[in-house]
Amino acid sequence: MRKAICLMVLALAACGENNGWNPNYVVADRPYGTVFDETTPYAQYKVQREKALIGQRAAPKTVPIARPFKAPTAQEIAGPNLWQIISGEARAVTGQTVIQPGGTVRTTTVVAAPADGAAVLSRYASATVHQPGKTVWRRSAADPAAAARICRSYATPDAAQIAFLAKGGPEADPALMDPDGDGFVCGWDPRPWRRSAGL
């Protein structure tokens, strides 16, 4: 007798499959708290999909996709890296850096840094537009005392800045030489370099 009652309850429950309140399969005026507007192809697709899930309509055959014709490439999104800026492959234009047209070639050879430190500093100063002391890169482990100790190990601010750029520059800062995050270390000032370059 008990089995017969359980079977009848299950049979009755199966008859009212889409009745009642189920937040996962509500196709009414406001499923999921939103209104089906059907004004866009994707909204129409969502209506068809939801109705197909509860058996009221056939499943849609395609998903509408709008192709972004003017989407930026991954290289444009990332922008130039520090070595492209320093080596002159990128130039400053109204405060933004732009990669020069041309294909990118991935190589496995290690290229030595230029021996002329003045050229490196001049290119770096020309590629930056902010003033010393203005935070551009966030530093989570900033320690001005440790940075001062490291700076004392260099003969000049120019030598410290060249070493800073060679170790990865402001993006990496592995030696924690730039506690204020401006990209200039040990009192190095880019303004004289910019003036000499005519900027």
pLDDT of residue 111: 45
| pTM of this structure | 0.43
Query: What token pair was written down for 137?
Result: 């890169």
Evaluate if residue 88 carries a pLDDT over 70.
Answer: no
Asked whether residue 104 carries a pLDDT value surpassing 80, the answer given is no
- Give the residue with greater pLDDT, 101 vs 122: 122
For residues 162 and 185, give the distance between their C-alpha atoms in angstroms, rounded to a whole number: 10
The pLDDT tens digits of the residues spanning 16-73 come to 555 555 555 544 444 444 555 566 777 778 888 888 888 888 888 877 766 556 777 7
Mean pLDDT over 113-128 rounds to 78
User: Which of 6-10, 74-78, 110-114, 135-139 is the least confident region?
Assistant: 110-114
CA distance 40 to 58: 19
Task: Determine how many CB atoms are found less than 10 A away from the CB of residue 165.
Answer: 22
User: Token match 């922008």: residue?
Assistant: 79
Which residues on adjacent β-strands are paired with residue 92?
97
Look at residues 72, 112, 77, 105 and name the one whose alpha carbon lies nearest to residue 89. 105
For residues 150 and 147, what is the distance between their CA atoms, to the nearest angstrom? 5
Q: Note the pLDDT tens digit of each residue in 169-181.
A: 888 888 888 988 8
